[in-house]
Amino acid sequence: MIKTFDEKNYTWDGVDTLVYKQDGSPFKDVTRQVLFNGAFDIPCQFRYFEVKPGGYSTLEHHEHTHMVMIFRGQGQCLLGDTIVDVKVGDFIEIPSHTIHQFRANKGDYVGFLCLVNVERDKVQIPSAEEIEALKENPAIKEFLESC
């Protein structure tokens, strides 16, 4: 019932490291470890995602919500119409249908714990029009074009 953490490799005993895959969605250098897959009275998955230096998660939105805590390193998070710097310990709620993306700084990993309901809708990729609308904000344009 204890999954021991390996602080050197950011892995847990008995937990597989998976390459993050979503059909057709763009991401770079992201792995996923499922620490808890829902059981008893907790109908949630608790995962650890790790983004290598310079990598980024998928730019996406969906009906289901995320509860995220940064666990390693630092980077930026695009959340709706804002970009925030994030570092270890920061706690982020991602509401329904809020476009989001995590990016590691060039010199840093960013790893984050993420809680979702076991039953959830599929990820949606913003349309070209939605991305153009986001880019009207110069800071977001710069963020997106650096990914």
Site for its own copies in 97-136 (CB under 8 A): 113, 115-117, 120
147 belongs to the catalytic site? no
The answer to the question of residue 37 lying near its own copies (CB under 8 A) is: no
Q: Which stretch binds its own copies (CB under 8 A): 50-58, 79-87, 101-109, 125-133?
A: 79-87
**Contact assessment for residue 77 and residue 83, using Cβ atoms and an 8 Å cutoff:** yes
Alpha carbon 13 to chain centroid, angstroms: 22
User: Out of 44, 77, 114, 147, which one is annotated catalytic?
Assistant: 114
The answer to the question of residue 7 lying near its own copies (CB under 8 A) is: yes
Instruction: Give one DSSP letter per residue of 24-36, joined into a string.
Output: T---EEEEEEEEE
Q: What angle do CA 95, 97, 99 make, to 5 degrees?
A: 90
The answer to the question of residue 42 lying near its own copies (CB under 8 A) is: yes
CB of 122 to its own copies, least distance (A): 14
CB neighbour list of residue 129: distance below 8 Å, 6 or more residues apart: none
Distance CA 142, CA 23 (A): 26
- Which residue from 59, 78, 83, 94 is in contact with its own copies, where contact means CB under 8 A? 94
Which residue reads 């110069």 in tokens?
138
The answer to the question of residue 9 lying near its own copies (CB under 8 A) is: no
Residues at the contact surface with its own copies, assessed by CB under 8 A: 1-7, 12, 35-36, 39-44, 46, 63-65, 67, 69-71, 77, 79, 84, 86-96, 113, 115-117, 120
